[in-house]
Amino acid sequence: MRDSSTNAVPDAVAPDEARTERSKPNRPHKARAETERPQKRRTPMKSDAASPQNGPEIPLDQALDTVILGDSIDIMRRLPPKSVHLIFADPPYNLQLRGELRRPDESKVDAVDPAWDQFSSFAAYDRFTHEWLSAARRVLRDDGALWVIGSYHNIFRVGASLQDLGFWILNDLIWRKSNPMPNFRGKRFTNAHETLIWCAKSEAQARYTFNYEAMKELNEGVQMRSDWLLPICSGGERMKNDSGDKAHPTQKPEALLARVLLTSTEAGEVVLDPFFGSGTTGAVAKRLRRRFIGVEREPAYVEIARRRIAEITPHDDDALAFARSKRRAQRVPFGLLLERGVLKPGDVLESPRGVAKVRVDGSLVADGVSGSIHRVAAHLMKAESYNGWTFWNFQGQPIDLLREKIRAELEKQEHGSEN
């Protein structure tokens, strides 16, 4: 992966000062799309068509693994259409705060109060949301996905815009913070969570990336739920500026981004973050060997993100391997074990119910019955059907492990040919 501190894309011209509505710094198995319950259908607005852009198109190879200084909407309009696999967006929250927040000892709370998070009205925020989501939809591949995170101040308005534009919501997820900031005034519940919305590009989208088995393994073998308990960003992970203060008020924890990227991408795929901030998405993407594009309009954040990502070391191949869905894995017929020389005709397979001899055509014979590894296993188990891959062993080793070895070799060859 190219060092993100050397940006091959010229810094974009900052938007006109009069455009105050967009003032925040800009800081993948293929599963079949399912609908658990009907969603209210809205007439999708046209959003994939080319939009006015300020400047020439940015070639994808120049944008990859870089942090681009510029306005997120303008930059996304200049990227090639349908070029990214995943978009993760942490847009301005438009916090409706009134006055300073102070602790009981009268010390000031570091609130999210920069100008980039302030909009003149809900209508202004809705226009901004429609614009950036339209630009994002244009660059998203037809089999891609979008994740957006927000708080109660903005996430419901963002959700409505997503549906208006034709995105199809797959899940809403709760990031439950294990160490949230207390509500010092005692007038509301402690705000202990944020909401993520995970979308396919459209209702008609037949397939999208969902690494179900990997998420299950991460959750100790239990199906992962839609409520994620993770701490807020703190300690050594929290980026600091030259004064030793927090570099960015809404920096997200790397563990949160790792779940998102592991859920929805494969190594080598492209992740776009149009509100890049201090670069958490890029740091995690580089570590997981995904390609990334970061767009950020605040120069100070761009420099922090570039320095941060330059220090990241990508994981090696062994560390990046993860559990995969059986439905998604490349099919390996039993006969391929013979063709690859892992087994040979005449070898004997063992099982708790007896042994079988391998024949030249990949069938087995045992107890006077011949057929596939599944048919002979079912005969010995006196069952209508049985999984032969988990039933038979060769020299004390399950043949399913032999199959996984060949599958890994095939996938490595396939990825090597793509590169």
| Upper half-sphere CA count for residue 181 (Cβ side, 13 Å) | 16
Residues 309 and 339 grouped into a single domain: no
Q: How confident is the model at residue 58 (pLDDT cuts 50, 70, 90)?
A: very high
Q: pLDDT for 86-105, tens place per residue? A: 999 999 987 755 555 554 55
What pLDDT score was predicted for residue 24?
40
Residues 286 and 394 grouped into a single domain: no
β-pair partners for 147: 88, 198
Residues 338 and 400 grouped into a single domain: yes
Q: Is 10 a member of any domain?
A: no
Q: Is 406 a member of any domain?
A: yes
Q: pLDDT for 248-271, tens place per residue? A: 677 888 999 999 999 999 999 999
Q: Is 131 a member of any domain?
A: yes
More confident residue, 212 or 411: 212
Say yes or no to pLDDT of 32 above 80: no
Domain of 399, in residue numbers:
334-418
Mean pLDDT of the chain: 82
Q: What angle do CA 241, 195, 279 make, to 5 degrees?
A: 30
Q: How confident is the model at residue 138 (pLDDT cuts 50, 70, 90)?
A: very high
Q: pLDDT for 302-316, tens place per residue? A: 999 999 999 999 998
Residues 82 and 132 grouped into a single domain: yes
Query: Among residues 320, 355, 372, which one ends one of the domains?
Result: 320
For residues 375-397, average pLDDT? 93
Say yes or no to pLDDT of 416 above 60: no
Number of domains in the chain: 2
Residues 163 and 82 grouped into a single domain: yes
Query: Among residues 320, 343, 358, which one ends one of the domains?
Result: 320
Residues 158 and 302 grouped into a single domain: yes
Residues 119 and 181 grouped into a single domain: yes
Q: Is 151 a member of any domain?
A: yes
Residues 201 and 140 grouped into a single domain: yes
Measure the CA–CA gap between 396 and 152, rounded to whole angstroms. 57
SS3 label, residue 75: helix
Q: How confident is the model at residue 327 (pLDDT cuts 50, 70, 90)?
A: low
Q: pLDDT for 200-236, tens place per residue? A: 999 999 899 999 999 998 888 899 999 999 988 767 7
Residues 366 and 260 grouped into a single domain: no
Residues 39 and 147 grouped into a single domain: yes
Any long-range contacts for 231-236 (C-beta under 8 Å, 24+ apart)? 231/177, 231/178, 231/179, 231/255, 232/177, 232/178, 232/179, 232/180, 232/181, 233/280, 234/179
What pLDDT score was predicted for residue 111?
52
Q: Is 204 a member of any domain?
A: yes
For residues 175-198, average pLDDT? 87
CATH of the domain at 252: 3.40.50.150
pTM of the model: 0.68
Residues 302 and 367 grouped into a single domain: no
CA-CA-CA-CA dihedral for 323, 328, 329, 331, to nearest 10: 160
Residues 277 and 151 grouped into a single domain: yes
Say yes or no to pLDDT of 46 above 50: no
Contact at 8 Å (CB) between 86 and 292?
Answer: no
